[in-house]
Structure 1
């Protein structure tokens, strides 16, 4: 296939679509190198500037990455962020990744006014505050900060949450089965602390997720998680609108 001069799409966008098709048809995978800008320019009859614009676009989309002095390579596909109530560990295993965690902070603290409102408890009530870095196949993916009322989970500090899923501990050790949740996701900028943990430049775009998890109408957990935007994308099924809505 070639660039269509009559197509209203900009040439750099047409080239992007052609390259995506070519990558699939050629069976290229993660870390495989694509042709150089000079080669692509000659193959498709485009200027180097247009080809570079296409590569820049595909790098920004997380489809390609550059290695200075070596070339441009195919990036790992982004992970779709789950919009169902599931633990990070469950979600990663379902996608074929090996989940991991490293504990950063583990303490019992008085709930701030905001945390108390979110958990529907009195300000100053003791909560377990847990910060963990989450990984998939040993690659840093997210920094997760959870708050759980201490009275609901006495002795939680005795469990190794680097080795076990928090939700699995809640269910199997405390008979707390999470049956509903509320979740908001927004774009954010990575601060210096999280950037070091996630291996990103400070100021990189991230996805910030706040989740409240419930059992029988009672809020069990307030979690604020920072996800790498270069490794995640959102996917949702849209059903037709019903007449009269």
Structure 2
């Protein structure tokens, strides 16, 4: 071989870089996805048959999938940054100044938006995936609360996620923190429902009564009390409150079925 002869190395398209860190690997995989998907749409646009093939190309689906990947990529990079920062012993004064800056930039609301988006994309049928997502949502809410501990939405979203994980006591604690920031009837309703799910039926009734003191015609409170009395096997009261709820709004199919059971029990 001549000394001055150019040596070319051809890399196969299937060659990939692999990393020991799962988080870094996740970032690399998402970058590969976005690169490949961008090629697909550019090829479609460049095609002479684009107009004829437009109906077969789901641009909206592509956009949503790509946006989700970008969102996940951003989150992975954020986690990687946090992991790197966490390896250093940062002085408390620097941390405090950093939180002040984050608060000034409204970064807590950014964390809440990301948490909401992740929660909206949860597939409840995929238990392992949903559990991991719920944990991440809580982490994002905690970051928002660390920046601004009176962020109402962060506390509510964290509480709702804890309910999904069946951590009812912690969920109620978080809902109460939200109420300390703003008295909200929807949060009271959520606490009543969590009490019912946790088997604290007397507490649930007391909270529903609290809601009715705020709104004497609350459809959700009437329905909630009906469900709670049904759980207590008090079918007469359950029937009464289903009637009250029905006089205010339309019951869903599941509630109508339970109401029918109440009526059968009373016959």
Q: Is the strand fraction higher in 1 or 2?
A: 1
Q: Is the helix fraction higher in 1 or 2?
A: 2
**Higher RCO (CA < 8 A, seq sep 6+):** 1
Please say whether Structure 1 and Structure 2 have the same fold, judged by a TM-score greater than 0.5.
no
Q: Which has the larger radius of gyration?
A: 2
TM range (shorter): under 0.3
TM-score, length-scaled by structure 2: 0.24
